[in-house]
Structure 1
Amino acid sequence: MASQIILAALALLASSVAAHGGLANYTVGDTWYRGPDDPLEDQQGKPWMIQRIWASIDPIFSVNDTGLACNTPGTAPPSYIPVAAGDNITAVYWYWLHPYGPMSVWLADCGESCEDVDVNQLDFFKIWEAGLVEGNIVEGIWYQKQFQNWDGSPDLWPVTIPSTIKPGLYIIRHEILSIHIEDKPQFYPECAHLNITGTGTAVPSPEYFARFPGTYKEDGMSDS
């Protein structure tokens, strides 16, 4: 059933998403949640929108770019994806071209509303990451390569919401960092709004917080 829903979603989005790639939609269980449509101006304010709007799949090159948090323009959507702590949420990409570099997923507590926050001032914490699977940095296999499908099927990125997390309104941030060009890292961040339910009470300690921009440094070092 879930596969049928994903295929139906992709059929709706293929004409626009295939043109530029990127995070097309999300699924939780058998329910899919739409991401951006073209043209850009027709997306804003749509009641079904749960993803922060991105205008292009072009990478972000500067670690000081404000779009590093939730892409550009990063306009807030009006809706939220309901998901229970401990459940999976899957990010669906129509295709992904690059094979080298790490991938990570972050959450940030919005407080009373994710629509009104400044994403550059949010404290993100990492809930998932994957990098080099085997071999060395240059010739090895990265998870990013395993993420790719070349048979026309979507690239699926499932992540489990921590089972003990405090319920509330959160931003989920998916980041792909491509390093296939020497000394020119390419950042691809995407964000959506979540309404996490559950009975947990866990919150991360400040030592795990990261802000974008601010966490990555031009010398390649990270504070997180």
Structure 2
Amino acid sequence: MSLLALSLLALATAPLARAHGGLANYTVGDPPVWYRGYDPDENATEQDGQSWMVQRKWASIDPIFSATDPYIACNKPGTPGPAYIPIEAGQNLTAVYWYWLHPVGPMTAWLAACPPLSEGGCVGVDVNKLDWFKIWEAGLIPGTGNLAEGIWYQKQFQNWDGSPDLWPVTIPATLKAGLYVVRHEILSIHIENKPQFYPECAHLNITGPGTDLPPSSFYKKFPGAYDPDDPSLKIDIYSDSMRKTYYGQDHPSTSIA
């Protein structure tokens, strides 16, 4: 077993690692440096505003049900923590889920640039006004079958042996250094016509010599990135008419990965 796996397995047995469906922690590097996220199962007064809090508050494991809900950006209530995860462009940021149940639907990771600290950084931004760009996505794994019977990445990243579910995403190597909000989203489509959005956000301090940002055509707003009438959201994956290959490329033109 790798050092990364051993370290995370040890974290899985720690008192803070209570299992629930959501993004609980982040790691950077190998051996991993661990950053604690918000835990709705723990006492809020011991987490809100703490100097170590890198994640925006999500108070429930319940999903966002509407593509037009303002909380689709960073979950509810989305209150910012004051801290930032330091990471170099080109490194992996691993999202740690201690438990994930649903098996069907795409997963995406997004970034949005924030002003410098002197202008409030990510703490002072309105996440609904940020320009988000996609850096990672995965849906139905090619060659595994149709919508209903195929294997989705959402299912592949699950573990049922008590170890954490790990979602590594590489920060683009040439990305411009600065402060960013990172947004991980799991979209579950296992219930007909009732998409379930599970977003969580954290703050990053990205370093490196890069100067790149995507062109404006890549940017999306939340809400606004998804059309609530999009057939890929209003979908019955078990109907005969929908039993076809689907790769979860909901907005491929917005990804710089």
Same-fold call, TM cutoff 0.5: yes
Q: C-alpha separation between the residues in 1 aligned to 2:224 and 2:45? A: 30
Tell me the percent identity. Answer: 66
Q: How many residues align?
A: 221
Q: C-alpha separation between the residues in 2 aligned to 1:120 and 1:13? A: 31
* Aligned counterpart, 1:33: 35
- Tell me the CA shift for residue 136 of structure 1: 1.3
TM-score normalised by length of structure 1? 0.94
Q: C-alpha separation between the residues in 2 aligned to 1:147 and 1:7? A: 15
Q: Compare 137-146 and 212-221 and name the one that shifted more.
A: 212-221
Q: C-alpha separation between the residues in 2 aligned to 1:146 and 1:155? A: 9
* Aligned counterpart, 1:90: 94
2:8 corresponds to 1:6: yes
* Aligned counterpart, 1:46: 50
2:21 corresponds to 1:21: yes
Contact 1:179/1:185, CA 8 A, preserved across alignment: yes
- Tell me the CA shift for residue 83 of structure 1: 0.2
Q: What do the CA deviations read for 1:104-147 (whole angstroms, capped 9, x no partner)?
A: 00000012200000000000100000001131112211111101
* Aligned counterpart, 2:234: none
2:171 corresponds to 1:161: yes
Contact 1:13/1:24, CA 8 A, preserved across alignment: no
2:211 corresponds to 1:201: yes
Q: C-alpha separation between the residues in 2 aligned to 1:23 and 1:218? A: 24
Structure 1 counterpart of 2:16, one-letter code: L
Q: C-alpha separation between the residues in 2 aligned to 1:130 and 1:102? A: 6
Structure 2 counterpart of 1:31, one-letter code: V
- Tell me the CA shift for residue 50 of structure 1: 0.3
Give the unaligned 5+ runs of structure 2: 232-249
Larger radius of gyration: 2
- Residues 74-223 of structure 1: matches in 2 within 5 Å? 74-112=78-116, 113-133=121-141, 134-220=144-230
- Tell me the CA shift for residue 215 of structure 1: 1.3
Q: Please report the RMSD computed on the Cα atoms of aligned residues, expressed in angstroms.
A: 1.4
Give the unaligned 5+ runs of structure 1: none
Q: What do the CA deviations read for 1:65-95 (whole angstroms, capped 9, x no partner)?
A: 1110000011101000000000001000001
Contact 1:5/1:31, CA 8 A, preserved across alignment: no
- Tell me the CA shift for residue 4 of structure 1: 3.9
> What secondary structure sits across from 1:141 in the alignment?
coil
Structure 1 counterpart of 2:59, one-letter code: A
- Tell me the CA shift for residue 64 of structure 1: 1.2
> What secondary structure sits across from 2:155 in the alignment?
helix
> What secondary structure sits across from 1:5 in the alignment?
helix
Structure 2 counterpart of 1:168, one-letter code: G
Contact 1:2/1:31, CA 8 A, preserved across alignment: no
Q: Compare 111-120 and 31-40 and name the one that shifted more.
A: 31-40
TM-score normalised by length of structure 2? 0.83
